[in-house]
Amino acid sequence: MMTAYGFQMLSKLLLMREERRRASVSVNPLTVTYSITSACQSDCKTCRIGRRYREDPKRNDLDLTIDEIEKIFKTLGQVLFFNISGGEPFLRRDLPQIIGLACRYLRPKIIHIPTNGIASDTIRDLTRQCLQSIRHHDSRLPLTVKPSIDGIGELHDEIRGVRGNFRQLEKTIGYLKEIEKEYDNFHLELGTVVSKFNVNYLSEIEDYVHSLGVQSIATRLQRIERNFLIWKTISPLMPMRMRDLLRNSRPKYGEISNESAT
């Protein structure tokens, strides 16, 4: 069943589509997804970003500076969705400033930040600061933070390549649930990258998320990692069977999406 949050987002999307239909001139992008850093503490089996960062920790010296980001945002115009991606976004201490610039120049209707959930205290503090940044522009603008959950307990740690990650994830979820009580515009969501390592545990993950009282879980099928040349080794199924999985696997509490994961 669609939540009130879901209805709110759907009506905004329909409104934007109508505005685009009426426009006789070229329109701005609907969605901007920006990888703010190449730094990451994870070593996920489904992604090579953390491994590459471990091998070359200077990679994130090439991350755009806050001034460079401002110059680019100024040119983009208004968007509907602003998705942050990475690396691990919460490793950038200036994340609240980036959010502030997005509010000022992109004027999105939704802001979304995925996280690996490892640096619990930092995630809690920066999420509050991001919400303060948003409040300066529009206190009703929804912010979603989406920690990744690829398994329960050791399975999660094994897939994400960090011992103790699941324990930190639980701590992060606890913090973010507290923040949900403080800010009406804050939304906690959990995300699962479906791979051959966890495809048989999806129902268990979904039940667990639901037991935490988290409103939604978004799952992302792992086929797009072609870019990282590892897709054949991690994809849960061949393409035909992948379509069957999409058709037959109707999540009990959430929905399948293709948002950015971390």
Query: Using CB under 6 A as the criterion, which residues of the chain lie in contact with ligand SF4 when the complex forms?
Result: 40, 42, 44, 47, 49-50, 86-88, 116, 261-262
CA–CA dist 237, 239 (Å, integer): 6
Report in angstroms how near the CB of residue 54 gets to ligand SF4 at its nearest.
9
Report in angstroms how near the CB of residue 74 gets to ligand SF4 at its nearest.
27
Nearer residue to ligand SF4 within complex by CB, 79 or 118: 118
Report in angstroms how near the CB of residue 38 gets to ligand SF4 at its nearest.
9
Tokens of 148: 């990744």
Nearer residue to ligand SF4 within complex by CB, 109 or 146: 146
Nearer residue to ligand SF4 within complex by CB, 150 or 206: 150
Q: How far is CA 103 from the centre of its chain?
A: 18
Report in angstroms how near the CB of residue 190 gets to ligand SF4 at its nearest.
14
Query: Which of 150-156's residues contact partners 24+ apart within 8 Å by CB, and which partners?
Result: 150/44, 150/46, 150/192, 150/193, 150/195, 150/197, 150/198, 150/205, 151/197, 151/198, 151/201, 151/205, 152/201, 152/204, 152/205, 152/208, 155/197, 155/198, 155/201
Whether residue 244 contacts residue 236, with contact meaning beta carbons closer than 8 Å, is answered with no
Nearer residue to ligand SF4 within complex by CB, 133 or 262: 262
Three-state SS at 118? coil
Whether residue 189 contacts residue 172, with contact meaning beta carbons closer than 8 Å, is answered with no
Tokens of 154: 């050791």
Whether residue 70 contacts residue 103, with contact meaning beta carbons closer than 8 Å, is answered with no
Nearer residue to ligand SF4 within complex by CB, 6 or 161: 161
Report in angstroms how near the CB of residue 15 gets to ligand SF4 at its nearest.
32
Nearer residue to ligand SF4 within complex by CB, 37 or 133: 37
Report in angstroms how near the CB of residue 96 gets to ligand SF4 at its nearest.
20
